[in-house]
Amino acid sequence: MLRGGYNVYPREVEDVLMRHPAIAQVAVIGVPDDKYGEEVCAVVRTRPGTDPDAALATDIVSWSRQRVAAHKYPRLVEFVEDFPLGPSGKVLKRELTARFAHGR
């Protein structure tokens, strides 16, 4: 994905986010943005017993901001209970992009 002319490799950001103690699974996608072309969005499934709320989303953004380059950290965090999976068990990021790109 491209954010403001900079390449962002979702796998790199996902690898960092997986170290956050509240995250059980994450997929990083690009959603349309008028200013930057695409904005980095982390779609997160939390660990059991963790409340997926606005405070956690803010914590994930600030936590990742300290660990990846300024153009790479997610500005948006969306929570899901389950990820859409293909027949091979791979996360279908195109479905996540379609779900979270609306209204942007």
- The CATH number given to whatever domain includes residue 96 is 3.30.300.30
C-alpha to C-alpha distances, 67 to 20, 44, 48, 63, 72, nearest whole angstrom:
11, 17, 24, 7, 10
Mean pLDDT of 75-100: 95
What digits encode the pLDDT tens for the residues 34-86? 999 999 999 999 999 999 999 999 999 999 999 999 999 999 999 999 999 99
Non-local (6+) Cβ contacts of 84 within 8 A are 91, 92, 95, 96
Residue pair 86/51 in contact (Cβ under 8 Å)? The answer is: no
16: exposed, middle or buried (Cβ count in 10 Å: 0-12, 13-18, 19+): middle
**Domains contained in the chain, number:** 1
* Structural domain boundaries enclosing 63: 2-101
